[in-house]
Amino acid sequence: MNPFAEREKALLELERRINELRAATADQPMDMSSEIAALESRYQEILREVYGRPTPWQKVHIARHPDRPTALEYIAALDRFDELHGDRYYRDDQAVVGGFGLLRGRAIMAIGQQRGRDTKENLRRNFGMVAPEGYRKVRRLALLASRFGVPIVTFIDTKGADPGISSEEHAQSEAIAQSLVAFTNARVPIVATVVGEGGSGGALALGIADRVIMLENSTYSVASPEGCAAILWADASKAEEAAEHLKLTAQDLMRYGIIDEIVPEPLGGANRDPIGIVTRVLERVDAALAALERFTPSELLTARYEKYRRMGAWGERAPAVSG
């Protein structure tokens, strides 16, 4: 259940009354500004109360909010975008979108997982759960970026890889495994941003990067909270408990050195200022690309190897558990 549902209703109601009052005062001489100000301060108060210190489970819901900017919003804000389709074997998976584009004049290969914003689009995009054909498209585009010499910019937003019959029949494991190889070997800078939810290997398939950015309320975990609860306790309804354990927030992952940067969101989440967030994220991606510009391909590959070589390396972090 969405932990915000009740309070969101209250916020919507306040918003409606503020707008009504504004409309009313627009064509009438009476001054309602103090009433409006009072309602607005009440609105901010509830917002702070509800979203001031979100729990991990609340962040999962902010990250999944239907109005949160999705990959296509970021891609639409590029100077230009030419979509490339298909895996060259079987079909074009709509759960992932990719192609060449320009970001502030810089040529890039943009690749993003696309969930839907409504039921119809969710069906077409399979809720952002990518099938093997999609990961093969991702791999192909990563190789293409290397051949063109243009950096790769990814937008991650998925609960996990598609777990269907057809995906297993088409070798989901192999498709993800080979996407990991393509990103590991890409001779161009890679900047990955977790814009919504990053779940499991299905997210990591777009996530091996020289710089990893997360939005303040995005989540990134070894499995979705539902998946983790199903695996550990055979009960997906214990997702909230799993979310607490998984250390899936941007702040936790920054502390662990697994991500490199956090982009702040407005109070209540990116959905409250989509245009502002998209602009800010693209600014940070551009800055990351500018910083990576001076490295040769072999320097990039060496630094990338060493970065992942250190991840969870033994002896550097916590003392061994006794026994």
Partner 1 sequence: MPMPEWLNRRRGKSDDRDAAQWSKCPSCGEMLYRRDLAGNLYVCSRCGYHFRMGAYDRISTIVDGDFTEIGAEVRSTDPLLWSDRKSYPAKLAGDRERSGLSEGIVCGFGEIGGYDAALGVMDFHFRGGTMGTVVGERVTLLLEEARRRRTPCIIFTASGGARMEEGMFALMQLAKTTAAVTRFMGDGNLLFTVLTDPTTGGVSASFAFQADVVIAEPGAMIGFAGRRVIEQTIRQKLPDRFQTAEFLLEKGHIDMVVDRRHIKETLARLLEYAVKGAQRLQEASR
- Site residues (CB under 8 A) for partner 1? 161, 163-165, 167-169, 171-174, 176-178, 180-181, 184-185, 200-201, 204-205, 207-208, 220-223, 227-228, 230-234, 236, 241-242, 245-248, 253, 256, 258, 304-305, 308-309, 311-315, 317-323
Q: State which residue, 43 or 57, has the beta carbon closest to partner 1.
A: 57
Tokens representing 13?
Answer: 């109601």
By beta-carbon proximity to partner 1, the closer residue of 111 and 204 is: 204
Q: What is the DSSP letter of 5?
A: H
Assigned token pair, 301: 């590959």
Determine the Cα–Cα distance for residues 265 and 268; give it in Å rounded to an integer.
8
Tokens of 206: 């777009």
Q: Is the CB of 5 or the CB of 313 nearer to partner 1?
A: 313
| Nearer of residues 62 and 192 to partner 1, judged by Cβ | 192
Closest separation between CB of residue 38 and partner 1, Å? 44
- The secondary structure of 130-170 as a DSSP string is --HHHHHHHHHHHHHHHHHT--EEEEEEESSS--SHHHHHT
Per DSSP (E only), the strands in 164-282 are: 190-199, 211-215, 219-221, 261-263
Smallest distance, partner 1 to C-beta of residue 228, A: 5
Which of 67/235 has CB closer to partner 1? 235
Find all residues with CB under 8 Å of 128, minimum gap 6, and list them: 70, 95, 113, 114, 115, 116, 157, 158, 159, 196
**Cβ atoms < 10 Å from Cβ of 172:** 23
C-alpha 316/C-alpha 148 separation (Å) is 38
Q: How far is the CB of 245 from partner 1 (least distance, A)?
A: 6
The answer to whether the CB of 208 falls within 8 A of the CB of 180 is yes
> Which CB sits closer to partner 1, 103 or 246?
246
How do strand 190-199 and strand 152-158 relate by DSSP bridges?
A: parallel
- 120 vs 314 by CB, closer to partner 1: 314
CB of 54 to partner 1, least distance (A): 19
Pick the closer one to partner 1 by CB: 188 or 242: 242
Smallest gap from Cβ 255 to partner 1, in A, equals 11
Of the CA atoms within 13 Å of residue 240, those in its CB half-sphere come to 7
Query: Which CA distances in Å does 127 have to 86, 135, 150, 161, 240?
Result: 18, 15, 29, 10, 20
Q: Name the phi and psi angles at 304, rounded to 5.
A: -65, -45
Residue where the block lists tokens 């072999």 = 298
Identity of the residue, 103 or 182, whose beta carbon is nearer to partner 1 in the bound complex: 182
Least Å distance, CB 99 to partner 1, is 25
